[in-house]
């Protein structure tokens, strides 16, 4: 689209700035609020600047879906593949996702799943992501000699529990979450985590048991 705005390029913003603003609106008010004019006002830019980076609103929405996929699916799958000597250590690697939004953004997950309630296309995206994530967890268990059926059930147990946390918007203090972690690991894997594994997990999240 030709540019009718003769101001310097910096006044057009950037693709990332438009996407970040859309992301904020999605989290704050849902997908119906993600529209070009409100975004332009939020950024202090002209409406026409939007078209330097996206062909239309639908292209912007697709970019939001891609950001969700890249952040959450890639983050979770990556953690299932991280080095671990035991299944309990592997499970704790996955649990990093629930505490580190750079690996798995729970707010974004909630927003996308809420969006899916009114969009069959987004529902399909979620179903595809769920399949990839559960399969990655299943393969993690199979690497530690669980049978395919047992690996499938345990992977679904981990994943659906966390999605339940997100869907119900459960709130826990860090201390309470950390107190529960070893019991969740035991339920999901059949093994209680070793003390040294828990210490490493706590250290990764700047937590000390004395805070409990």
Residue 175 has pLDDT above 60, yes or no: yes
**Banded model confidence at residue 27, pLDDT cuts 50, 70, 90:** very high
pLDDT for residue 187: 98
What predicted TM-score, i.e. pTM, was given to this entire model?
Answer: 0.89
Q: What is the 3-state secondary structure (H, E, C) of the chain?
A: CCCCCCCCHHHHCCHHHHHHHHHHHHHHHCHHHCCHHHHHHHHCCCHHHHHHCCCCHHHHHHHHHHHHHHHHHHHHHHHHCCCCCCHHHHHHHHHHHHHCCCCCCHHHHHHHHHHHCCCHHHHHHHHHHHHHHHHHHHHHHHHCCCCHHHHHHHHHHHHHHHHHHHHCCCCCCHHHHHHHHHHHHHHHHCCCCCHHHHHHHHHHCCCCHHHC
Residue 128 has pLDDT above 60, yes or no: yes
CATH (residue range 11-54): 1.10.10
**Banded model confidence at residue 11, pLDDT cuts 50, 70, 90:** low
Place of tokens 């979620």: 126
pLDDT for residue 4: 42
Instruction: Give pLDDT tens digits for 34-51.
Output: 999 999 999 999 999 999
Instruction: Give pLDDT tens digits for 130-166.
Output: 999 999 999 999 999 999 999 999 999 999 999 999 9
Residue 83 has pLDDT above 90, yes or no: yes
């Amino acid at each position: 689209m030709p540019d009718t705005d003769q101001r310097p390029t910096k006044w057009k913003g950037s693709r990332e700035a438009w996407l970040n603003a859309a992301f904020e609106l999605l989290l704050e008010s849902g997908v119906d609020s993600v529209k070009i004019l409100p975004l332009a006002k939020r950024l202090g830019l002209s409406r026409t600047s939007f078209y330097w980076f996206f062909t239309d609103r639908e292209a912007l929405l697709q970019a939001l879906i891609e950001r969700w996929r890249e952040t959450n699916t890639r983050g979770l799958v990556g953690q299932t593949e991280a080095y671990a000597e035991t299944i309990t250590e592997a499970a704790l690697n996955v649990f990093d996702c629930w505490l580190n939004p750079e690996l798995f953004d729970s707010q974004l997950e909630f927003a996308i799943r809420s969006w899916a309630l009114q969009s069959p296309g987004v529902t399909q995206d979620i179903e595809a992501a769920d399949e990839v994530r559960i399969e990655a967890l299943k393969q993690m268990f199979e690497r530690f000699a669980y049978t395919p059926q047992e690996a499938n059930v345990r992977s679904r147990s981990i994943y659906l529990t966390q999605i339940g946390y997100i869907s119900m918007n459960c709130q826990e203090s860090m201390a309470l979450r950390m107190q529960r972690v070893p019991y969740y690991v035991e339920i999901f894997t059949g093994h209680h985590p070793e003390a040294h594994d828990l210490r490493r997990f706590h250290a990764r999240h700047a937590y000390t048991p004395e805070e409990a």
